[in-house]
Every structure is written in C-alpha cells, then in structure tokens.
Amino acid sequence: MDAGSLDGVRQRFRGHVSVTVAEARTVQPFFARSAAPQIHADVVVLSDATLDELVSDTQQVLTFKAGARQLDDLREGAVIISGRGAGFARRILKKIVLPQGNFLLDTLPVSLSDIIEDGTLIGGYATAGSGTEGIARVLSLGQGVTLANRARPLGASSEFNVDVPLNAEETSKITGKINVEWNPEFAVDFRLGSGLKEAELLVNPTVRPDLSFVKGPEDIEKEVLFDLGVFELTPFTIQVGFVPVVVVPTVKGYAKVSAKGGVQVNFASGYSLQGSYGAHYRKGSGWDGVFSTQLDGNFTPVGAVKIEGELGVGVYMAMAVYNVIGPFIQVGPYLRATGELNTASETGLCKKFRADLGIAAKVGGSFKVLSWYESKLELSLIDKVVKNLVDTQSSSCNDTTPPLSPEGLNAVATGSRTIELSWTPSTDEGGLRGHQVERDGVVVALAREGKHVDASLQAGHEHCYRIIAVDLSGNQSLPSTRACARTSATDRTAPTVPAQVTATATSTTAIHLSWQANSDDVGVIGYVVSANGKRLRSLADTSMDIGKLTPETNHCLVIEAFDAMGNVSPPSEPVCVSTLPPDQAAWTMQLGCVGRDHNISRNIDLDVDGASLVNVTGEAIDYSGSALAYHLHGSYEPSTHVLDAQIDWTFSNSTAVRMDRFTAQLSTDDTGPVTMTQVLKTGCDANIRFVQNTR
C-alpha cells in the first residue's frame, strides 16, 4: 500500500486502524522482605464496643459516653486507632473525665510510623464474587517481573455516558461512553528503629473511551479545555489489616479542539488503556516513578477532516489513610489528531494528517500519612506519544521547509532515576508531528508538547539532551541547544543537627519555637518537632507555634531535620520552657444563663495570634455545683477580629451534649454579653463574654 497516495488513504479507512503497544519498566519486588506488622506499645486499637459509645468528633476532640469501654487504656500520650469506616489515628493530648458523665479526648493526628514499629502491609482491591464490596488481597511480585505481566486484583468498573455540545447551536458535539476499572494497590514496610523503609502506591486502571466528534458548518476556533464532565465516584476501602486505605476516584474527560472549514467533520476514536502507575519509595533513594502502559486504539474518520485537537480521559485517584488525604495518582490517555485529509475525493491540494495515541501520568501529594518525615511529591511518570495510528499525506504535497528549532531547553533531575525536560515548542505552517527527544545522541521519545519525563535512568549518572521538531511531512528542525542533568545518587548521609533552637512561652497554652536552617549534601526539605518525646508536626519552615498545651506546664522540645531521601538528623539538644500560669491568660471567659449572673469564669487563651483556628478544652462548675467540660472551637479572622465559634458541653451524671453557636467581636477589651444560639438545646439560653486581661 502506498501510504503517500490518496487511494492508499481510502483503502486504509475502509476498516479501522487498530494497534497494540506496550511499554514497561522492570521494577524490584514489592520489598526485600515481608514480615508480620508489629505495632508500637503505646497504640490502642479501639474496639467496636468503644466506638459505639463515640458521641462526637469535632476538630480532633472526641467525646465518648459515660461507661465507654477501654477508659483506663485511653491515657494521655497513647495513640488510638479506629478501623471503622474511613478510620482515624490520633495521639491523646488531654483527657477529661466527668463523674458519671461523658469524657473528652483532645487529640492530634499521627502517621503510620507512629503506629507500625516493624513489618510490612501489602494490600489491593478486588471484587468479592458478583458483589461490590472490596476485599483485601495479599499481592506478591517476584524478582525481575515487569508490571505489565503482574497479576492484579479486579476492580469494579464504572461506565459513563458522554454528550457534550461544543457550541450554542449544538451542531458540534462529543458523544460516546467511557468505561473505567480501578485496581489500586498499597504497601508499606517499616523497620525497627528506623521507621519507613519502603512504600509503594499504585493504580492499575483499565480505561476504555469510545468517543465521537461531530463538527457542524461553524468553525470551532477555541483551543481550550472542554470539560466532558467530572464524575465523582463512591469512595471504596482497602482494609489492609488494621489500616483502612480509602480510595477516592474521579474520572474527567476533556477535549481540546480547533476545527475549521464549512464542511462537516465526523470521526470516532476508541482506545483501551491497561497499565500500572505509581511511585516506589526506598529510604536513601527517595521516590521513583513506576509505570507500565499498554494501549489499543482505532481512529475512523468519515468525509473531510481538518482538525487540531485532542480527546482524552483523566483518571484521578487519591488515597486517604485514617481519614487523612495523602497521595494521588493521575493517568490521562489521549488521542491527538492534527492536519487535513478527505477520504472521499482528491482535491489536488496538499493534505497531511496524523493521529497518535499518547499517555500522560503523574503522582503527587502529601505522604505525611505514611511518615512524619514526609517528602511532598510532584513526579511526572510519562508524558509522550506512544504510538502512531495514522500518518499520511496526499501526492500533491511538496513540503520541504523544516520547522523552527525548539528553544529554551532545560533539564532538571527530579530523583535518582528521573530527569524532567521542558522547552518552548516549535511551530510549522503545515502542522507539527511532535518533538523528538534525543538522549546522549539517541532518540528515545516523541513528545507532544514542550515537556518530557525521562524516567528509566540509573542513579548518579549524567545525561545530555537535545530536542528536534518534526512536521507532518517528516521535515526535521535543527537540534536545540544541549542541556544536561545528573540523576541523584543514593544518599545515606543525614542532615546536620538543627542548631540555635529557641522556645518562648507566648500564652498559657502556646509556645513559639524557632531554629536555624540546616545544611545537607542534597538539601533539607523539612523538620519534625517533638514535645516531651512525642512528635507533633512536620513542616518546611524554621519556626512554628505550638498550641493546645496545658497552662504552667514544662515542655521539652527537640527538632529533627530530614532530606528528600528519608535521612533524618540526630535530634537537637532539648530546649525546655513552661507555658504561662493561668492568671496570665489574655482573656477571662464568662458564661451564664441569660438574665442570671454568670456562673463560669475562666482565664483562657484563644491563641489567635498563632493560628486562625481556635480550639480550647477545659473544665468548670455548673450552677448546681456539678462538674462540666467544654470544647470551644471555631475560626478567627484577624482582619476583622471576629471569632465565629461553637461551644460543646458535656456534664457529670449525664450523657447529654449541649451545643451553642456565637459570633464575638474581639477588637475591644470587653465584648459585653453575647447571646448564643443553642444548636442542641438542653437548658436555658446562655451568654458568653470575653474580657481582656492586663498582663
């Protein structure tokens, strides 16, 4: 068949073009070992009986009914975990128990490294028979097995109908169906004394779009993203032992179209993606992308086609561990069509046309759910044309003019196995086929736009790149200037110890902490702050305000620095400081029934200078002389000095919970009585008043 003749084009499109292409990377087995998980000694797994007594969970304050089980085990400093539903994992900061009444636990989220001391967890999602509930499945991967040949669990499929008009007259539209299967996998390995050793997060999607594009007589000039609809699916759970991993899936179709000419355009595209996409973490090496792609595709035009466009489907999957959103994986197969052809007749005009299948995938988000020593990740796995479906031009074409040379090539190593390239895309009057990526003198990819991810490299090696633009006639531009980058080597060197740590009590319940920025051979990316031997928070800054502390209490603070490879510095020397005594609190809070003297007067700090969220717990005495506990929580707007908050009350000798909402203006030294609105009514209407104290 003569691919350059129009007769050849007619012959080619009597059926549809179908191809299969696979691209796979060999990866290591899940982990070097598999061992039963062991939890830390201070971890308490909440029983179903205890969870049945949970009354509320508001801003990390848990209220349990009187007589709840495991009360003695729920001590301050312990980590409590719940596997019910989305679950939660918290460390208890404060415990308030009322005689014959409810009890409150003021808590702080923790990561898996606070729960698992040693061992591995490996799980996937599968359908149980013909049902829809997910079941845990242990997966294994032998040495040297590629992801493409990997046994995968089967996930429930979802099908969506698409009918999206592209103009007001609805003469141009995209119609069809999208079918998606998910199949996520999750695995972690913790080592005794050193924390997270390895982790792997994957989604193994099957995506089958079957879409048609119809253009009416009007031009479609817009080169913008046409939203085919966002389909929020019901989250499902991988129950991996005692760890519930909630998967939040989303499907988003898109079309980027520029079609011209008075004739109608009608073409159908169908393709099927099966692959594996995700990231693998190894301590000392950091995060690397892992992926495998297999694409089947077809492209069937009818009549005249003159278009510059792209049809694709974005599959987005976020993972939440213990109800905290963590990493995401995004996969986007697409079909790109460029040029002009006519399957019905020869016009004597030059007609060049190309249709390609491609794939873009990335992984990112926060990994704090796995370890306090998190490394936020934005890692592109693949973004390139994988296979050509149609590449033809009519015999009247005589284009010998090459495209302009690409400019501004930049190469940046983003890991031990990955280099990301970016450049200013070239242009050509007859249309571009793409940009050839040349690594060390060898063409390794055809990129669709001004970016490419080279993700199959070795650690500690330098590579040099050039970009060459190719038009639809096959003409090549002059190469771009060369850009080089070296992948990072395996790093076992810990950052230096944080220095110049200072701590100052700023209120009865808060301490301000600061320290000098650290040095490291590859760069410090964060710090972990611990108080009295318990981790509180990880952050990238060199200062923080620590709140929700107990008045007039000594707190010893240490800082650890960590780099992108998971290496952790020795802790700084402890710096100890006491919070201010209660009589130095900034405010006196008065509470009482409307029309009566207030019966509660408490010195409190709202700590509005250190945070926009207000979260205060405490104890007091009711009119009857019995004990009560309160949780004041809400938000503070510094620009207007407005506190919008709620108080939750619980009382001794009762399982009832009362809730009052209020808005107070804190710009003066006395708010005056502010009448609150009862959300859960248990008694009289109440006032709240804030009087500023003089320190």
Among the listed residues 310, 172, 177, 358, the one whose alpha carbon sits nearest the alpha carbon of residue 251: 177
Q: What pTM does this model have?
A: 0.78
Contact 616/509 with Cβ under 8 angstroms?
yes
Please tell me whether residue 49 adopts helix, strand or coil conformation. helix
Q: What letter does residue 361 receive in the DSSP assignment?
A: E
pLDDT of residue 459: 81
pLDDT given at position 222: 59
pLDDT at 323: 79
**E strands in 85-142:** 88-97, 103-109, 116-127, 134-136
Cβ-proximal residues to 406 (8 Å cutoff; 6+ apart), any chain: 423, 424, 425, 426, 435, 450, 467, 468, 469, 477, 480
Q: Burial of 479 by CB count in 10 Å (0-12 exposed, 13-18 middle, 19+ buried)? A: middle
Question: Looking at the chain, how many residues does it have?
Answer: 695
Sequence-distant (6+) residues with CB within 8 A of 260 are 219, 220, 221, 306
- Residue spans of beta strands (DSSP E) within 417-570: 419-424, 432-439, 442-447, 451-454, 462-471, 483-486, 502-505, 511-514, 524-531, 534-539, 543-546, 554-563
Q: Is the CB of residue 327 less than 8 Å from the CB of residue 248? A: no
Give the contacts of 638 (CB within 8 A, at least 6 positions apart). 608, 612
Contacts of 87 (CB under 8 A, 6+ apart): 81, 243, 244, 246, 322, 323
**Amino acid letter, 684:** C
What per-residue confidence (pLDDT) applies to 409?
96
Residue at token pair 């008694």 = 683
Instruction: Kindly list the averaged pLDDT for each block of 10 residues, start to end, along the chain of length 695.
Output: 30 30 39 77 90 89 85 89 86 90 90 88 50 30 30 55 81 83 82 85 85 78 59 68 77 76 62 84 80 81 74 84 85 85 64 85 85 77 84 78 93 84 87 90 87 82 95 90 89 88 94 89 83 87 89 94 86 95 92 90 83 84 90 89 92 88 94 92 88 84
